[in-house]
Amino acid sequence: MDTFDNFLNSNLQSDNIDLDLDNSSFNQLHYMVNLNATKSEVKKNSIFGFLTDFASPKFIVAKLAFVVVLFILIIGNKENRVNESFVFLCDSTHIQNNSFDTTATYNNQVSDSLFN
């Protein structure tokens, strides 16, 4: 490294310019930080607000009824799924049997035509 490099290293870092930022621009930035904080608070409230309201003791009977209905729907949905999968299994066994029969018939036909 040359001496000019040393000069630059030691003197440019201490160089100052007569320049400062206005308070108004700083305040505007602060306002934006606050605005973002409010936005995220609103988002949080929209997610947890429902749960908080639900946990309050108001309209407790209606809420219980709602939970019971929800529970019944979930159970019903589960049973339907079991039935559907059973039907599907039956169908697939039927298809398998059919294809087995068709292949057997075809094989018989081919061997007949070959040897007769």
Partner 1 sequence: MNLNLFRNKDLTDEELLISISNGNNDAFNNLYSRYKDRLLYYFYRMLFQDKELAKDFVQEIFIKIINKPHLYNPNMKFSTWIFSVANNMCKNEYRRQDIRKNTISCENPDTFNNEDFSDNNHEPAIKLIFTQLERFDESHKSAFLLKYREGFSIDEISNVLDLPVGTIKSRLFYTRKKLQENIKNNHPELIEQLNLQ
Residue 25 binds partner 1, judged by CB under 8 A: yes
Please select the residue that binds partner 1; options are 34, 85, 97, 102, rule is CB under 8 A.
Answer: 34
Please select the residue that binds partner 1; options are 27, 38, 97, 108, rule is CB under 8 A.
Answer: 38
CA distances from 12 to 6, 8, 28, 42 (A): 10, 6, 32, 47
Residue 79 binds partner 1, judged by CB under 8 A: no
Give the integer Cα–Cα distance in Å for 5 and 13: 13
Return the H-helix or E-strand segment holding 53: helix 23-55
Q: How far is the CB of 49 from partner 1 (least distance, A)?
A: 18
Residue 48 binds partner 1, judged by CB under 8 A: no
Residue 26 binds partner 1, judged by CB under 8 A: yes
Convert 64-75 to b/e letters by CB count within 10 Å (16 or more is b): eeeeeeeeeeee
- Residues of this chain that interact with partner 1 (CB under 8 A) are 2-9, 11-13, 15, 17, 19, 21-22, 25-26, 28-30, 32-34, 36-38, 40-41
